[in-house]
Structure 1
């Protein structure tokens, strides 16, 4: 059974790589000019935001993505409380997990959590990175089913972020 799962994962990765090479990518440059997010406009629609630097949503408007570049650092010690504060107006988050993860050349604090809002389960995931000029945060949010079904395009957008050299 595990060999079949590994084969399926490998084949899906090959398929995803083949698809992304044929697609024309667009890019967003952060307001400080430090970070670039490359994305596929056939999968993601970019909009400006008053609360975040930029927002994206998938073409079905199920998954929302938020990116912000802070003028300060979010320390590892304050990370959990910072994430909890972001969601407190919607309710208490559950199952918050924070792990170190490498995205391109960035070692980030990757988080995943759940929120029961109006009897609907939402899942959020994303990362905080402390780099040149302060911290950045990118987060993905949607109903639990939408996150699970769209994990491949979430990972693709995550892997589109890089530091401009």
Structure 2
């Protein structure tokens, strides 16, 4: 009986160990002014070493979704949000279904937007946010073909929630 109990205890211990989830090891990107930190899971997001006008660029592990981060040296007012977003996409076409709403990310109230763009007969969806804080405004933006956004919303939210203000 004692041997059976010991065996049962040992088997349950192995099952318990197998069921514990390892917390992912996060990497971080610190903004160029040292005001913001973006913590990300390298199993879901890969930081590109070279950028094309953004401060930092990432893509998901399947290279379907691109994420872009920039820290502006000025403030983007709520009045100028729509024109700023339209300006970013003008060389690719006209955006449609632009929606901007207030949203809480961590303790920050941001102007979150979603929009669509028909480019070379492919429908792309973009989303992201602007936040005006210490030192100017920041933007974090995601873009992908429409089919990739919804199934990957969880990792988009994960990266959004990785943004923190570095305490003084």
Q: How does 1:18-29 map to 2 (within 5 A)?
A: 22-29=23-30
Check 1:133–1:121 CA distance in 2 against 1; reply closer, same or farther (3 A cut): same
Q: How much does 1:56 deviate? A: 0.4
TM-score of the aligned structures, taking structure 1 as reference length: 0.87
Q: 1:9 corresponds to which residue?
A: none
Computing the radius of gyration over CA atoms, which structure comes out larger, 1 or 2?
2
Check 1:71–1:99 CA distance in 2 against 1; reply closer, same or farther (3 A cut): same
Helix, strand or coil for the counterpart of 2:87?
helix
Q: Equivalents in 2 of 1:22, 1:159: separation in Å? A: 16
Helix, strand or coil for the counterpart of 1:22?
coil
Q: Equivalents in 2 of 1:27, 1:36: separation in Å? A: 7
Count of residue pairs the alignment pairs up:
148
TM-score of the aligned structures, taking structure 2 as reference length: 0.85
**Is 1:34 aligned with 2:35?**
yes
Unaligned runs of 5+ in 1: 1-17
Q: Equivalents in 2 of 1:27, 1:53: separation in Å? A: 14
Q: How much does 1:20 deviate? A: 8.5
Q: CA RMSD for the aligned pairs? A: 1.5
Q: How much does 1:31 deviate? A: 0.2
Q: Equivalents in 1 of 2:85, 2:96: separation in Å? A: 11
